[in-house]
Structure 1
């Protein structure tokens, strides 16, 4: 068994959530949240911001830690147990450009209920639900978009 750690973001701009569409050699396809592997010496928040930027071209600000999810998958030689640390993030525009080298074919911002139903994996839907609730609370408190907050 191999343990792996990734970090990602629930990126919001004007109430809409950023998603990526991945199609890997027609064996894997679906909408996902941006995330990627922690590099040596990196803090989790740094990884999340870097991966969001690499996979989507989006410059985002990390607002707060949301939580973690875990899943397992098989490779040809082993079972991988992956833990993903998630951050609520704010983008500065609707711009996004999917990273073709990672088999992302599309990206875009979607309303909460659309994003929730588009996401392929239940653990990402749960993270989206948690992050969006925190976004709503920050917005109600007048803290979303307030540079003093982060």
Structure 2
């Protein structure tokens, strides 16, 4: 099952038929995906499932119905075990951005972290999960697939938020501060911390 967020509301891609209770179920093959997304953006649908019998084909089918934008991002630790966060549009987020032509996704992720935060000397520790969300640009809905990487750095210089990307603040947050930041973050970012069993203060 895939979890795609539309304005922080979940749109599940599933190969299992479930009895509807608090959500709506659509057949991916015949569904007007854009219409469903529009309704989710307008708060007419809070939660939806798109069903397709073949788990392996399900994401491919969605990609046929909506343009895809690929991005890379970093969950970056410093030597004190703190995590690098950015603050923009009134929420805490992790640095990430779109790929450039011919660029490897790992390079995208490291370049974007450096551009958005000023942090250098990055090395990738491991690949994390991908996250999925739908956004609207120039009147077109797109599926953004973000490839996340755990990174490390010994950088202890100045943090500089990329102003043209609307980044107001960049900060190293300790586990206690991360818990507070996640209260005002995006569902995909929360998912990353849940699934990667990142050490947060109890």
Rg larger in structure: 2
How many angstroms apart in 2 are the aligned matches of 1:94 and 1:48? 20
Q: Which protein, 1 or 2, shows the higher relative CO under an 8 Å CA cutoff with sep ≥ 6?
A: 1
Instruction: Return the alpha-carbon distance in structure 1 between the equivalents of residues 148 and 189 of structure 2.
Output: 10
1:16 to 82, 104, 107: 82
Which stretches in structure 1 are left out of the alignment for 5+ residues?
23-27, 137-150
Structure 1 match to 2:191 = 126
- Which 10-residue stretch deviates more, 45-54 or 119-128? 119-128
Q: Distance in 2 between matches of 1:91 and 1:3?
A: 31
The aligned residue for residue 174 of structure 2 is: 111
Alignment of 1:1-150 (within 5 A): 1-13=66-78, 14-22=80-88, 28-59=89-120, 60-95=122-157, 96-119=159-182, 120-131=185-196, 133=198
Contact 1:57 1:97 in 2 (8 A): yes
Flag the 1:7–1:43 CA change in 2: closer, same or farther, 3 A.
same
Q: CA RMSD in A?
A: 1.6
Describe the SS at the equivalent of 1:79.
Answer: strand
Report the structure, 1 or 2, having the larger strand content: 1
What is the TM-score of this pair, normalised by structure 1?
0.79
Q: Deviations over 1:90-134 (max 9, x none)?
A: 02123321111111111111112422431410111221344454x
Residue 86 of structure 1: CA displacement? 0.2
8 Å Cα contact 1:66-1:130 kept in structure 2: no
Residues of 2 paired with 1:111 and 1:129: CA distance? 16
Structure 2 alignment gaps of length 5 or more: 1-65
- Structure 2 Cα separation of the partners of residues 36 and 76 of structure 1: 18
